[in-house]
Structure 1
């Protein structure tokens, strides 16, 4: 795949209970979730959006990595090994890899200078990833549509990720004493997400991702009935609302959609 550097190309949940997580997210996100067709991927589950395109994976903690569940993000890069070196040169760390995933691509698990984890990857497919698809209406249902970094040092984070992916500040929304919600990207027309302070907002320091749902209130109610908890919904610029869902196992992810 040849997505531009810094494009979110995959989302992944590591959980101790795949079966319950599968049922929860299938109902909330409207995903069709099934085992990977590749035997070498073991019990890895693939989540497809309403249009049949893959957006996320659900996996058990790898051996030796128990106790580190949660959602993670994969950024597309041209050269994983080169970018892994760039991560270290910019003050970050490489926790795992680079290594190849049979039939999928090459990746590395990294951390920024504030210790927040992300992945970089170059996929083998000749087609671009569409896991992240910022499209209005039903065209983006089930896809990632926004990413958000809560970090104790937003300025340092912008410098770090800007050096890796060519991002710069693309406007900001003032939040009073909580500081700015700073939009990031290559241009105003290419803004995958934003950076904010985890210290002033009390948000968990991490990368969060938001998936498009057809009806924000219906998705919230489904999440609650499935044992999850919800913060929101909050109106966002335009006609949509956002909310953060914590699943029954304590893992948080965002949803975006209209009120119907």
Structure 2
């Protein structure tokens, strides 16, 4: 896979109910999560998330065995050319390594880490597919449905997060939007594209964390599918700059995510 330091290259849902997630996200986003997955040590399994265009959008890890007590949630994988060096820098900055760096044959080297404010994510150096050394991930796209369209970090120390992620991944913070007493919403860029934002942690968010916004074809239809499927809307549907709409949600197992897309009706 071509050098793409700082790109979000994979997204993973950790859930105790992969079968339920399969039905829920099919109705909400339109994904086809595999009915069966690869068995893992400890009793869990790993299923792939498929988009309607035939691409793979990420994976679903069943929480079982030693991981059964972990909360449901979405995690992002960020490309780094040196997982071990990035993990060491995170520790030096006051963060933590939850799963040490290890190689997965045919996939790449990865580690699960937490930044100094507690937000968890994966570091990854991917192995390119056979015969395609310049392959690039397409799981993030600023405009397309069924991709992740926005990566948002809520953190207890915005400026420290901007500095550390910028150092690790080459991100640039170029613009900001005042939110009154809540502070500023700081937009982050990877190379020439805007990939998300960093903002102060809101009082109803238990700890610093990343939220990923999935592209919806119709925000009202998708939001209705959330509640019809046993999930919750964690706020109102709000218009965002550019004329589209977004809403923060939780799936039936409690994993939080966002939706962004047009209002069709």
Q: How high is the TM-score relative to the length of structure 1? A: 0.91
CA distance in 1, matches of 2:96, 2:230: 36
Q: Deviations over 1:116-146 (max 9, x none)?
A: 11101111123111111223xxxx2201111
**What aligned pairs does 1:126-141 form with structure 2 within 5 A after superposition?**
126=133, 127-135=135-143, 140-141=144-145
115 and 56 in structure 1: CA distance in 2 versus 1, 3 angstrom threshold: same
Partner of residue 96 from structure 1, selected from 96, 99, 106:
99
CA offset at residue 40 of structure 1?
A: 6.9
Partner of residue 214 from structure 1, selected from 214, 217, 223:
217
CA distance in 2, matches of 1:50, 1:173: 34
Q: Deviations over 1:44-70 (max 9, x none)?
A: 111122211111211112542232221
244 and 177 in structure 1: CA distance in 2 versus 1, 3 angstrom threshold: same
- Contact 2:96/2:113 (<8 A) preserved: yes
- Contact 1:76/1:120 (<8 A) preserved: yes
CA offset at residue 186 of structure 1?
A: 4.1
- Contact 1:2/1:78 (<8 A) preserved: no
3-state DSSP of counterpart to 2:193: coil
Task: List runs of 5+ in structure 1 lacking aligned partners.
Answer: none
Partner of residue 58 from structure 1, selected from 53, 57, 60:
60
3-state DSSP of counterpart to 1:95: strand
**What aligned pairs does 1:148-187 form with structure 2 within 5 A after superposition?**
148-186=152-190
> How many residue pairs get matched?
254
CA offset at residue 236 of structure 1?
A: 0.7
Q: Deviations over 1:68-102 (max 9, x none)?
A: 22111110111212222222233322121211123
- Contact 2:38/2:47 (<8 A) preserved: no
Task: List runs of 5+ in structure 2 lacking aligned partners.
Answer: none
Match of 2:2 in 1: 2
CA offset at residue 162 of structure 1?
A: 1.2
CA offset at residue 35 of structure 1?
A: 5.2
CA distance in 2, matches of 1:160, 1:23: 38
- Contact 1:150/1:197 (<8 A) preserved: yes
Does the alignment pair 1:147 with 2:155?
Answer: no
CA distance in 1, matches of 2:7, 2:226: 28
Match of 2:14 in 1: 14
- Contact 2:37/2:48 (<8 A) preserved: no
CA offset at residue 190 of structure 1?
A: 2.0
CA distance in 2, matches of 1:29, 1:103: 28
RMSD: 1.9
Q: Deviations over 1:174-205 (max 9, x none)?
A: 00110000011245x32211001014x64453
